[in-house]
Chains A and B, each alone.
Chain A
Amino acid sequence: MAAAQGSSASELRRILTLWRNVRVQRFVGQTVFAAIVIYVGYLLISNMSGRLDQIGLSLFPFVDTTGSFPFISVSGDFLNQRAGFDIVETSFGYDYGPNDSYRDAYFTGFLNTIRVSGMGIVFATIIGVFIGVSRQSKNWLVSHAALAYVETFRNVPLLLQLIFWYVAIYLKLPRISNPLDLDIAIVTNKAIALPFVSPESGFGIWMIVLLAGAAAGAAAYVVRSRRQDATGLPSHPGWWALGAFGAIGLIGFLATGLPLETDTPSIANRQVIGGLQMTPEFGALLTGLTLYTAAFIAENVRGSIQAIPKGQTEAAAALGLGSFQRMRYVILPQTLRILIPPTTNQYLNLTKNSSLAFVLAFKDVFGTGSVIITQTGQAVPIIALLMITYLSLSLFISLVMNTINSRLKWENA
């Protein structure tokens, strides 16, 4: 057989068998997949767009295809229209009224979401750690009461719990015409109010003094840590820092003429006035989210304490470290390291679950968004906006927690 003939035949075979070449398969496979995804996506979107056109809406109201680059119309979009609905409860002193735009309404809801999630995360962590540690108690009653708590709260749907707190607890509180006045607090089914403080003149100056106090505290911490390193004597940098901050804060408070005034709540014209107020909607949402998430955090805490081998405590004890030192330098750093990732997940869940505020008529970002949908019919952009909002919040929480986790690097213990 001639060599030339053989080579051209193998060339032919190579081309004919190209379909089973790995690289070709990969390329063709992915191209076909991408084509199908894009085409199906296009079909769905064109269907939606077609139907929306029929009722005079646009699928992408932010995109102005007639304009010039970057095709985003700011003036014409519906978010600038007057909202026309009120949001009773706002957060962080943000001012909103029915005459403001949909954009303002959405932002108000967003702030409400942040407030309830933030407070929920703090309280759920405190309660969760408490219950989780109680699960490990040597006392049979305490550990089983903690177990009962966990099994009760995590096996019943959160939405049910939220509705229960709202209709069966908070709304059953005394009416405002017959309030429960506890001298320090006022409890009605319109609001629960606790005494609070309100700033007086000199508050700003005191704030500056406090900042200076914080700086002094930090300096004290550094100085005392260095002393401990240099002399080996226990120098309690943490306590010194706290002491410096507290002392300067107190002196400043007295020097600026007591810039805080107690603000005791009262009732006038069937309204609760002053103090630190909480509506039943917010109360039910916060209670439900906190107690539900705390059950899951408690399980994480228990698991991460159990995950530390007994040998760690023993080795620390054998070195003569006391029980506080064992906890502080050996057990806690390792526990936190295990605890943080699953707890981050619970924080994310709590934030997403805060959207159930919708059912309690508390206007969080989802509740506000749904009102905008019913008023304008702009379901597509609002749902997209909501998704982006929640994704950003999730991303933000993950970033914060990851930063904390990397700060807790082993050597910083």
Chain B
Amino acid sequence: MTQDQMSGRDGEKRVGTRNIIEARDVEKWFGDFQALRGITMSVKEREVVVIMGPSGSGKSTFIRTINRLEEHDKGTIIVDGVELNNDLKNLEKIRSEVGMVFQQFNLFPHLTVERNITLALSHVRHFKKADAHDMAMRLLERVGIPEQVDKYPAQLSGGQQQRVAIARALAMQPKIMLFDEPTSALDPEMIHEVLDVMRELAETGMTMIVVTHEMGFAREAADRFFFFDEGVIVEEGTPEHFFTNPQEERTKLFLSQIL
């Protein structure tokens, strides 16, 4: 069992040199509507990438293609050296290496918090029951809610649910974490507790792609920044560049509306 991501608070976080995700000219249609019009982007190991853009800009669709919840129609996506195609073997490998956190949490309402976390450990990773339990407890402590282990999702607040969802994704020891607007469905007072967990995760060196409108998080945690609109990348750069000196009109307009 690799412990480096679990315990690894090495303090120093360095962005690696290897591209762990490479997307080239990715296109995607929904019927006659083209959601992605040629996205090219690469993400390095231990890099935190934030994607912003107005709704319908294709940002969620794009990160969903990375673990193939959406199939792309054109272009190539390579995740950790494996190309995404119709080969089911690749698919399962990628999915267990890429964790995902959804806007609507998507916890399994019929399972306890513990079972939500251990389900995939038992059936995909074939953990012993005791080991799975230990892992669940460790992760719950890390997200700050070990006392909720026996509760059902409906008994938790939105912030707590999202933290369980993060723990559930981390349990698979993913190399990459995808966050699809993780705080958009939360009440304001709960947003920070989720962002704290994400910030801490970024510090430990997790590779993360985050779709969010949370400026504070983006400014602090992001290494790189992408602005999507109408299925294309309009602008990319460091957070610094974005908040002080955006070049494109569309970016300026969007930022002026959101800030």
Instruction: State the 9 A-B residue pairs at the shortest beta-carbon distance, nearest first.
Output: A320-B96, A315-B106, A229-B129, A410-B110, A311-B106, A319-B120, A318-B100, A232-B128, A320-B95
Nearest A residue to B122 by beta-carbon distance?
A232
Interface range, A side: 20 to 34
Contact of A232 among B108, B109, B111, B126 (CB under 8 A): B126
Across-interface contacts of A329 in B (CB, < 8 A): 119, 123
Given contacts A337-B110, A413-B110, whether A318 and B95 have CB atoms under 8 Å apart is yes
Could you list 12 examples of A-B contacts with CB < 8 Å? A234-B123, A311-B106, A315-B106, A315-B165, A316-B108, A319-B120, A320-B92, A321-B119, A321-B123, A330-B119, A410-B109, A413-B110
Please tell me if A233 contacts chain B, counting CB pairs below 8 Å: yes
Please tell me if B172 contacts chain A, counting CB pairs below 8 Å: yes
Name the residue in A319, A325, A329, A337 with the highest tally of chain B Cβ atoms < 10 Å from its Cβ.
Answer: A319
Given contacts A229-B129, A232-B126, A232-B128, whether A321 and B110 have CB atoms under 8 Å apart is no
A-B contact count (CB 8 A): 89
Name the residue in A309, A337, A410 with the highest tally of chain B Cβ atoms < 10 Å from its Cβ.
Answer: A410
Please tell me if B198 contacts chain A, counting CB pairs below 8 Å: no
Given contacts A320-B120, A321-B124, whether A315 and B110 have CB atoms under 8 Å apart is no
Contact of B95 among A319, A337, A411, A413 (CB under 8 A): A319
CB distance from A217 to the nearest CB of B (A): 22
Contact of A319 among B111, B127, B129, B168 (CB under 8 A): B168
Name the residue in A232, A315, A318, A321 with the highest tally of chain B Cβ atoms < 10 Å from its Cβ.
Answer: A318
Please tell me if A381 contacts chain B, counting CB pairs below 8 Å: no
Name the residue in B95, B96, B169 with the highest tally of chain A Cβ atoms < 10 Å from its Cβ.
Answer: B95
Nearest B residue to A319 by beta-carbon distance?
B120
CB distance from B245 to the nearest CB of A (A): 36
CB distance from B60 to the nearest CB of A (A): 12
Across-interface contacts of B132 in A (CB, < 8 A): 232
Contact of A320 among B106, B122, B124, B127 (CB under 8 A): B124
Nearest A residue to B114 by beta-carbon distance?
A411
Across-interface contacts of A311 in B (CB, < 8 A): 102, 104, 106
How far does the alpha carbon of A82 sit from the alpha carbon of B123 in the complex, in Å? Answer: 65
Residues 316-347 of chain A: 1 if any B CB is under 8 Å from the residue's CB, otherwise 0?
A: 11111110010001100110010000000000
B131 touching A318, Cβ below 8 Å = no
Please tell me if A230 contacts chain B, counting CB pairs below 8 Å: yes
Please tell me if B99 contacts chain A, counting CB pairs below 8 Å: yes
Across-interface contacts of B109 in A (CB, < 8 A): 334, 410
| Chain A contact residues, CB within 8 Å of chain B | 228-234, 309, 311-312, 314-322, 325, 329-330, 333-334, 337, 410-411, 413
Nearest B residue to A230 by beta-carbon distance?
B128
CB distance from B199 to the nearest CB of A (A): 22
Across-interface contacts of B98 in A (CB, < 8 A): 318
Across-interface contacts of A320 in B (CB, < 8 A): 92, 95-96, 120, 124, 172
CB distance from B168 to the nearest CB of A (A): 7
How far does the alpha carbon of A331 sit from the alpha carbon of B111 in the complex, in Å? Answer: 12
Nearest B residue to A229 by beta-carbon distance?
B129
Across-interface contacts of A411 in B (CB, < 8 A): 110-112, 115
CB distance from A61 to the nearest CB of B (A): 53
How far does the alpha carbon of A334 sit from the alpha carbon of B153 in the complex, in Å? Answer: 14
How far does the alpha carbon of A29 sit from the alpha carbon of B24 in the complex, in Å? Answer: 79
A314 touching B106, Cβ below 8 Å = yes
